[in-house]
Chains A and B, each alone.
Chain A
């Protein structure tokens, strides 16, 4: 049996391979969404079933569980002959949401890694492409009713064959996406990251021996499982229920419910979503891999010390999603799954588990990516533009302190762009970028404050679209804390105030010069009874205008 010390060293070595892939991808990528916002992830997956061996610590949280699902689908399709078998140097590309994905913009590459003529494991990564075609630039249509409207859907095909880019496949892709000329920079980076991973993994195997590393991988998987089981044993046996609501699907103005029952038995957690809403018409559906991944990432927020590995997911069983909007099938639209539905699933997990682990779990965070897109024509520069303002919101109060203000989405880790850069690049003027006073849910520890911004179109005409959430229901308070303030969107057209019918979602609202958009993002949920709040903190909140 392999000794635990070698095991620790090999674990560090595998993590290093993934971190170097992450770094190579971000550094070489052209798109800021990958290069700066790190909307990407890289990892190593099992040869037989695609199970997660190691994944870079700097990957976007929402990809925690999707890449093993995607790799598993690919392996199954190769076995069944649906997808052609690889040769050394091949790299598959796939963005099909229903084959272990998220939305279409998250494009996965998978490269078989060979030792002695056999596939030893898979190296895979995901990168968010700025556009994959479809009815709106960027792919986030708030009103799509079928996946075809959301963009180009690729089954797994070999974009690289024995190390060379297949120019024919690439030409098809480029003919179907916007700003295609810049994409080659991302494609090269995404493939190069896998090359870096292969070279580093080669060195690791040469040093420790294939059999030792193989044995270590199995042992690490078992130990991650042990660690997760030990962690969840902090939760008292029993069932913990919660509900989280999505405002609407963007097409039908009715709320969608995520109904969750978490049942803890020894070393095991079952997440039953059986009573959740059925698949919806608009793009607020989730696919199976994203739903599982959302549960995993929520658990990782709760137990950040457990390493990411298939073993850590083993004790977490997800049931009851078939037939609900959390396991949508072709051709349901899914563009909201990675950015919004995932965060509501995480909120349901937080709201259930906080009952059992009040010291570890926070009240609900803002839980929306706050996607405001403005597309139009800038007459001064004579060109079209698409601007995105993604924004943060308040985090939930917790056992230790008040929630953070203007935190990043639960599933992301990226920075928001500076206002000065936005005003340099687009014909807009911000009138306000401020803490949203009074938005944090009251509690012993208050929810963090959301953001309040107001932006004016300076020239020409444009269309405003919104994919946000928590407009109808604020982020949930916990243990007697109050909910955070709801998301609010106002569009001022010719001096007249307009609130979108779906509150947090709207598509193509026309703006002319001088029109304004104001967005107030949610505050975090409060934690504990507001009556228990330290009077000094109450006074400080008042003095600083936070309440």
Chain B
């Protein structure tokens, strides 16, 4: 049995999960070190008492690239592009940040003076209209080097149709560029749309040096402590890549944290017999939602990580739906209660954190209602329940004409209604009815709200994994190796050359197999997933059609498209011409399975569930004294009737009246209505 350590760096905490030599899972949680995340990683390894010499593999999820983009702390990067189009990265797609309010700002990834143009032109079919001016490329490269650029993007119009100019320009640049940080536009995703492809390439280049240095430093630190294995880094597609290769496609690591959480959810769902899940990750500032169908997390090429910042590489489709524990409640001038969208964030955070927050938040409301343990917060240096109640009375209770506790209950009720609405919108937008799913609740605050949301959504069951607070780190341990390939072709369905399509799939699969072979990790099994993106001529949105293999017939394409279109839109459109837009292949290398039952030490489990104490908790139906259990002590097959509270190190689970929690065979708690 190989020893695998998963370490995920989040905004506040660095989490570790480890499959120890004895098959047990060990976990740790340490504060994230913002300046250099490696220190937090090392601290987590120490906290878990990991003997690095015995470790076979470290899998790492990092926010280095995400933070760099969001904070624009990027390496100086230059762009060489088609004459007439250097401003594409700044013009965007003619939008504004919000529908109402004519204000807003946008900072392009590469400033205008570092965006240079060269004569060259391809048409949409990939035919050269104007040859590449190689001397102009040399001059531009020299100018950008002179300006102090560390990374370079070469991005030409229609390079997805014919990359020869981009490749030649990169060759020329490589003659003088002092490092390997050269990104070509078609390199990450060979897809139509110059703004999205260009931004993706620009993000890739401008985070490459940062990620490269970070990974090198981390490897050196680990080597110094006796670790001789490889470090794999999580990608946003839910797969992982060797640290020696990762910076080449650095943009793919953006949003890897949420992706690994979803991978852990999918894995947990598969081993516990829940193939269809809505994942619900509620943290301090935001809540992330994803849909898992048949045990698989959907991947999208169209994620936008903030306003006008599309990163078009395959990423697990995780949607942020706003509210987190820090969302602020207030009463409007119209005398109505509002929750969010403003957030107290992590700093100052909710009042109860005791870091100077003075505005009522969802977390504070949970505290007042007894759903969070006031004593535990007080121990951590938070403020008293009375102080929180005073703010709720003044800010919410008085204007609404109710007491502080009623106001707090209203805040949670409204927040739940809005979150449920947002989750419904996410699932409907993916063509799914939430009632066909189980809710997989994780993150620090997820299990506190999950039952109320499930009731609101008509979801029959909630699944709370053994360690909701370290789900992302678990995702690192259970993830697969993965490479995705996309090529835009725009072939009409009726005339598509099947031989060419099959050859393209075969080429993608072979490239993927070679990429897996280049990794240092032994894989148990390799599989490919083939799909095409299709649309009706005259439409601009595409649907993804999964295929059984890489040699589909024309009928398989047509029938698949009709079926998916019907499932998604409930509209049948006969007689309208369809076309194949993109050809996609994912190549996945599977690692050995992990036993998640070990997430809670069986030694600590008691033969019978025994409440540790009682606490007064306010529900919508009124206040009740409820038993409080400690999760780690619960027998595997426990059955606990609500109302009850189940506490654990990393979260609090609220079992509402009329619901019950029972343990399943792999250590999850399943919450269902009735008995």
Q: B87 on the interface (CB 8 Å rule)?
A: yes
| Contact residues, A271-322 vs B (CB, 8 A) | 297, 300-301, 304-305
Tell whether, in the assembled complex, residue B570 and residue A227 are in contact, meaning their CB atoms are under 8 Å apart: no
Q: Are B571 and A28 in contact (CB under 8 A)?
A: yes
A164 adjacent to chain B (CB < 8 Å): no
A189 within 8 A of B: yes
Within the assembled complex, what's the spacing in Å between the Cα atoms of A391 and B91? 11
Query: At the interface with chain B, which of A19-27, A71-79, A85-93, A240-248?
Result: A19-27
Q: Given A12-B417, A227-B332, A301-B101, answer yes or no on A433-B111 (Cβ-Cβ < 8 Å).
A: no
The answer to whether A418 touches B93 (Cβ under 8 A) is yes
Say yes or no: B192 contacts A420, CB within 8 Å: yes
For A27, the closest partner residue in chain B by CB is B569
List of A residues within 8 angstroms of B338 by Cβ: 8
Q: A11-B336, A223-B336, A432-B84 are in contact. Are A407 and B95 (CB under 8 A)?
A: yes
**Do A423 and B103 have beta carbons less than 8 Å apart?**
no
Asked if A331 lies at the interface with its beta carbon under 8 angstroms from chain B, I say no
B414 at interface, CB cutoff 8 A: yes
Asked if A188 is at the interface (CB within 8 A of a chain B CB), the reply is yes
Q: A19-B425, A23-B425, A365-B102 are in contact. Are A30 and B194 (CB under 8 A)?
A: no
Chain A residues with CB below 8 A from B538, complex form: 30-32, 179, 182
Q: Which residue of B96, B158, B335 is within 8 Å of A395 (Cβ)? A: B96
* A343 CB → nearest B CB, Å: 11
CB within 8 Å of A: which B397-417 residues: 400-402, 406, 410, 413-414, 417
Note all chain B residues with C-beta closer than 8 A to A30: 536, 538-539, 571, 573
Asked if A8 contacts B336 (CB within 8 A), the reply is yes
B99 interface hit (Cβ, 8 Å) = yes
Tell me which of B87, B337, B571 contacts A188 (CB under 8 A).
Answer: B571
Report if A512 contacts B (CB, 8 A): no
Q: A185-B573, A362-B102 are in contact. Are A7 and B336 (CB under 8 A)?
A: yes
Check if A82 is an interface residue, CB within 8 A of chain B.
Answer: no
Q: Is the CB of A301 within 8 A of B102?
A: yes
Instruction: Decide yes or no: A420 and B428 within 8 Å by CB, A8-B410, A9-B414 being known contacts.
Output: no
A11 CA to B424 CA, complexed, in Å: 17
Cα–Cα distance between A424 and B126 once the two chains are bound (Å) = 10
**CB of B92 within 8 Å of the partner chain:** yes
Q: Please tell me which one of the listed residues B106, B540, B573 contacts residue A35 in the complex, with CB atoms under 8 A apart.
A: B540
Contacts of B95 in A (CB 8 A): 392, 407-408, 413, 415
Q: Nearest-CB distance from A87 to chain B (Å)? A: 24
* B129 on interface, CB distance cutoff 8 Å: yes
Whether A433 contacts B94 by the Cβ 8 Å rule is no
The reply to whether B86 and A396 form a contact with Cβ atoms under 8 Å apart is: no
Known: A182-B538, A230-B333, A420-B157. A435 touches B194 (CB 8 A): no
A-B residue pair count with CB separations less than 8 angstroms: 212
Interface of B is mostly: loop
Report whether A398 and B103 are in contact in the complex, using a CB–CB cutoff of 8 Å.
yes
Does B568 sit at the interface, judged by CB under 8 A? yes
Contact of A434 among B84, B417, B431, B575 (CB under 8 A): B84
> A421-B540, A433-B87, A435-B87 known; A20 and B424 CB under 8 Å?
yes
User: Which residues of B294-335 are within 8 A (CB) of A?
Assistant: 332-335
Q: Is the CB of B417 within 8 A of A401?
A: no
| CB of A172 within 8 Å of the partner chain | no
A349 to B204, CA, bound (A): 43
Q: Is B124 an interface residue (CB 8 A)?
A: yes
The closest CB in chain A to the CB of B458 belongs to A203
Q: What residues on B are CB-neighbors of A230 within 8 Å?
A: 333-334
- Asked if A101 CB lies within 8 Å of chain B CBs, one says no
Other-chain contact of B571, A19, A185, A413, A543 (Cβ < 8 Å): A185
Pick the contact of B192: A300, A421, A430, A454 (CB < 8 A).
Answer: A421
Contact with A along B384-403 (1 / 0, CB 8 A): 00000000000000001110
Once the chains are docked, how many angstroms separate the CA of A257 from the CA of B121? 45
Q: Evaluate contact between A416 and B93: CB separation under 8 angstroms.
A: yes
Task: Say whether A451 contacts B91, CB under 8 Å.
Answer: yes
Please give me the residue from chain B that is nearest to A179 by CB atom.
B538
In this assembly, does B105 line the interface, its C-beta being within 8 Å of a C-beta of chain A? Answer: yes
The verdict on A400 contacting chain B, using a C-beta distance below 8 Å, is yes
Partner of B194, one of A32, A362, A396, A420: A420
- What B residues does A407 contact at CB under 8 A? 94-96, 102, 104
B400 near A4: Cβ-Cβ < 8 Å: yes
* Chain B residues whose CB sits within 8 angstroms of the CB of A496 once the complex forms: none
Interface size band for B: 35 or more
Would you give the 0/1 interface string for A384-425, flagging 1 where the beta carbon is closer than 8 Å to chain B? 000000111001101011101111101001111111110110
Per-residue contact bits, chain B 189-205, to A (CB 8 Å; 1 contact, 0 not): 00011111000000000
Q: For the complex, what is the distance from the CA of A410 to the CA of B196, rounded to whole Å?
A: 24
User: Contacts A11-B336, A30-B573, A35-B540 known; A433 to B105 CB distance under 8 Å?
Assistant: no
Least CB distance from A230 to B in Å reads 4
Contacts of A189 in B (CB 8 A): 569, 571
Query: What residues on B are CB-neighbors of A5 within 8 Å?
Result: 337, 400, 402, 406, 410, 413-414
B541 within 8 A of A: yes
Taken together as a complex, chains A and B put the C-alpha atoms of A519 and B538 apart, in Å, by 26
- Expressed in whole angstroms, the minimum distance between the Cβ of B620 and any Cβ of chain A is 11
State the CA gap A184–B196 with chains docked (Å): 32
A304 and B104 in contact, given A418-B194, A545-B112 (Cβ under 8 angstroms): no
Among the listed B96, B112, B123, which residue makes an inter-chain contact with A408, where contact means beta carbons less than 8 Å apart?
B96
Residues of B within 8 A of A13 (CB): 417, 421
- Given A20-B428, A362-B103, A419-B194, are A4 and B417 also a contact pair (CB < 8 Å)? no
A231 to B98 CA separation, bound complex (whole angstroms)? 20
Instruction: Name the B residues within 8 Å of A416 (CB-CB).
Output: 93-94
A400 CA to B105 CA, complexed, in Å: 10
* CB-defined contacts of A255 to chain B, threshold 8 Å: none
User: For residue A395, which residue of chain B has the nearest CB?
Assistant: B102
Q: Which residue of B lies closest to A363 (CB)?
A: B102
Across the interface, which residues of A come within 8 angstroms of B105, CB to CB?
A: 401-402, 404
Nearest CB in chain A: distance from B423 CB, A: 11
8 further interface pairs, Cβ-Cβ under 8 Å (given A4-B400, A230-B333, A416-B93): A12-B417, A23-B428, A24-B428, A32-B540, A182-B538, A223-B336, A415-B93, A433-B87
Chain B residues in the interface with A (C-beta under 8 A): 84-88, 90-96, 98-106, 111-113, 121, 123-124, 129, 157-158, 160, 192-196, 332-338, 400-402, 406, 410, 413-414, 417-418, 421, 424-425, 428-429, 431, 490, 536, 538-541, 568-571, 573, 575-576
25 contacts between A and B (CB under 8 A): A5-B337, A5-B400, A5-B406, A5-B410, A20-B428, A23-B429, A30-B538, A31-B538, A35-B540, A392-B94, A395-B104, A404-B106, A405-B91, A406-B90, A413-B96, A418-B193, A420-B124, A420-B193, A421-B540, A423-B124, A433-B84, A433-B87, A434-B85, A451-B91, A546-B112
Give the B-binding residues of A (Cβ under 8 A). 3-5, 7-9, 11-13, 15-16, 19-20, 23-24, 27-28, 30-32, 35-36, 57-58, 61, 179, 181-182, 184-185, 188-189, 192, 223-224, 226-227, 230-231, 297, 300-301, 304-305, 350, 362, 365, 390-392, 395-396, 398, 400-402, 404-408, 410, 413-421, 423-424, 429-435, 451, 454, 543-546
